[in-house]
Amino acid sequence: MPKIDGFTFAQQIKNNPLTSTIPIIFLTSNNDKASILKAKSLGIDYLHKPTDPAKLRHRVHQALIRSEVQHFTQLHAHATTILDEFFSKKQSVDLNALDVWSTQTIEMVKARGLHPKHFLDHLPQSYNDATHNVNVGMLALLLGQTLHFTHHQQCDLVMAAVMHDIGKITIATSILNKTSALSWNEYVIVQKHALDGVEQAKKAGVKKGSILDAILYHHEKLDGSGYPSGLKGNQIPLFAQVIGVCDVFDALTTQRSFRERYSSYDALMLMLHEMPNQLNQHYVQTLISLLH
């Protein structure tokens, strides 16, 4: 290459946030150990010429997987930072930052070349308020795209999902992290987070009724056993039903203070066989298709 060598060029790509996730493969006749080690340190795949075309195709495929997963985890980490700031400082959630994040995430998932399972396998398995909201946001987006929601529907769904539990900011940590069963009074306090979430969303500047309703009703159940209003069946808004499925799945498959995490399989079987009258089973079945 004129003026700069391949390593310098690759380093410039890796140092630029806009291009840092682009996979790089060196196909070169240079096979010295120092070059190979340097390539590895920069996250560059290194192939020595001549190479088998099948091997090159395999390396390209693997590089694309790593790149997409890296982009996915970077977006997840960014949203988690935004919500960590909200929960730790107990100030208004940064709606503009979440709006930019949701647009980037929708475009990334829309352009994906991988099966959604590659992404879902990299969701954090430890539970806290921030990661749970982001996990549910990512799950809801993948579900919404698979269900062929429009772009505008996806935007509203993701914003509602990533904020669905922000009302928990008003609940004492001693209740949220309790390792034993909640008392009735504590359970009533926890239920209030749906109403408080709407107030927090309004405070941040959310005006769309579809987003506010999804936050308010994400704990409603098809048989009327949910809260805060005991809605039944199609009385429950569409987005609230989608988020409800994603919320239960993530809650079951992440490590909690009061129990061990369920495997994805066990969580889905529980949702199918023990919650058939509570959760929209079409959405549960769609989630299963994303995970297998």
In tens, the pLDDT along 80-128 reads 999 999 999 888 999 999 999 999 999 988 887 667 877 788 888 888 9
Q: What is the pLDDT of residues 27-48, one digit of tens each?
A: 887 777 887 788 788 778 888 7
In the chain the domains, ranked by start, together with CATH numbers, are 6-51 (3.40.50.2300), 91-291 (1.10.3210.10)
Q: In terms of C-beta distances under 8 Å and separation of at least 24 residues, what long-range contacts does 123-127 make, across chains too?
A: 123/76, 123/250, 124/76, 124/254, 125/253, 125/254, 125/255, 125/261, 126/254, 126/255, 127/251, 127/254, 127/255, 127/256, 127/257
Three-state secondary structure of 6-38:
HHHHHHHHHHCCCCCCCCCEEEECCCCHHHHHH
Q: What is residue 257's DSSP assignment?
A: T
Q: What is residue 259's DSSP assignment?
A: B
Banded model confidence at residue 62, pLDDT cuts 50, 70, 90: confident
pLDDT for position 1: 58
Q: Please give the full DSSP string across 44-90, using - where no structure is assigned.
A: -EEEESS--HHHHHHHHHHHHHHHHHHHHHHHHHHHHHHHHHHHHHT
* Nearest CA among 144, 187, 146 for reference residue 162: 144
Q: What is the pLDDT of residues 177-199, one digit of tens each?
A: 888 889 999 999 999 999 999 99
Banded model confidence at residue 11, pLDDT cuts 50, 70, 90: confident
